[in-house]
Amino acid sequence: MIDDDILTIDEVAKYLRVSERTVYDWAQKGEIPSGKIGTVWRFKKTEIEKWVNDRLSSDRMISRYASVQVGNILSPDRIVFLDFQAKRDALLALSDNLAQSPQIKNRHELTQEILKREELMSTAIGRGIAIPHVRLASVTDLVVSVGISRVDIQDFQALDDQPVRLIFMIAAAYNQHAYYLQTLSFFSDRLKNAELRNALLAVSEPRAAYSLLCSKT
């Protein structure tokens, strides 16, 4: 009985619309799920389909966030260590830091709108992260400040009821809606990585945190 789930190099090449030589090279380098039966390469169709889907999803993600360059929106002087147990105090301290950026033209409006946004709905997204964000006419370009808290901030009312330790504050110009949403999604996705979160909490100086956030991995 022929197993429809087992493919030859020729069948994989036709499925992926590439040459047989390309599939052979991928198999030799271990870049595609494969195995040898005797001296010939064989492939499981289900594994190939998953491999394709993973590659396409990865490419879409890279394309989606291609315009978000951390080095353009963050600098080491906008990464601060916090020591407040109340979220209002933490937000005020981080807002003061962000307001020092030349892109922020109205410090009072920034603080007021950040607090107002937080009153409407918590910006804590779980995993110890909060991403307070605003779009304002008085902001000339998107800019970010990061707060790394040395203590648990308990009153953020996160979705998972976990205390907040990492705060990413984003302020954008009013006409930057698409870029603003891209940046929110970018940080939300990056911070799903537990190793990155733990590394950020362990740093002792801002430049180390900046390097971690600028890293492509």
* CATH at 171: 3.40.930.10
- How long, in residues, is the chain? 217
Question: Would you say residue 117 lies in a domain?
Answer: yes
What are 54's two structure tokens?
A: 């993973």
pTM for the structure as a whole? 0.70
Based on the domain organization, do 15 and 107 belong to the same domain? no
Give the C-alpha separation, 6 to 3, whole Å. 6
Judged against a pLDDT cut of 60, whether residue 3 lies above it is answered with: no
Based on the domain organization, do 50 and 146 belong to the same domain? no
Q: Closest Cα to residue 155, out of 187, 201, 114, 124?
A: 124
Question: Would you say residue 167 lies in a domain?
Answer: yes
Instruction: Enumerate the β-bridge partners of residue 36.
Output: 41
54 CB burial (10 A radius; 0-12, 13-18, 19+): exposed
Based on the domain organization, do 111 and 59 belong to the same domain? no
Q: List, for residues 87-118, the tens digit of each pLDDT value.
A: 999 999 999 999 999 999 999 999 999 999 89
The whole domain housing 11 covers: 6-64
Question: Would you say residue 154 lies in a domain?
Answer: yes
Categorize the per-residue pLDDT at 157 as very low, low, confident or very high, splitting at 50, 70 and 90: confident
Q: List, for residues 11-45, the tens digit of each pLDDT value.
A: 888 888 778 888 887 887 777 888 888 888 999 98
Judged against a pLDDT cut of 50, whether residue 1 lies above it is answered with: no
CB 15 within 8 A of CB 47: no
Total domains in the fold of the chain: 2
Domain final position from 64, 84, 102: 64
Domain final position from 64, 91, 112: 64
Based on the domain organization, do 13 and 30 belong to the same domain? yes
Based on the domain organization, do 75 and 146 belong to the same domain? yes
Based on the domain organization, do 98 and 203 belong to the same domain? yes
Based on the domain organization, do 113 and 165 belong to the same domain? yes
Give the C-alpha separation, 38 to 124, whole Å. 55
Q: Closest Cα to residue 95, out of 82, 77, 79, 114?
A: 114
Based on the domain organization, do 78 and 184 belong to the same domain? yes
User: Residue 121: its pLDDT value, please?
Assistant: 84
Question: Would you say residue 1 lies in a domain?
Answer: no
Instruction: For residues 160-175, give the mean pLDDT.
Output: 94
Residue ranges with strand state E in 27-128 = 35-37, 40-44, 79-82, 124-126
Based on the domain organization, do 38 and 129 belong to the same domain? no
Based on the domain organization, do 108 and 59 belong to the same domain? no
Based on the domain organization, do 86 and 45 belong to the same domain? no
User: Residue 14: its pLDDT value, please?
Assistant: 85
Based on the domain organization, do 145 and 181 belong to the same domain? yes
Domain final position from 44, 64, 84: 64
Q: List, for residues 111-155, the tens digit of each pLDDT value.
A: 999 999 898 888 998 999 999 999 999 999 999 999 999 999 999
Cα distances (Å, whole numbers) of residue 151 to 98, 191, 208: 21, 19, 19
Neighbours of 53 (CB within 10 A): 10
Q: Closest Cα to residue 156, out of 202, 190, 204, 124?
A: 124
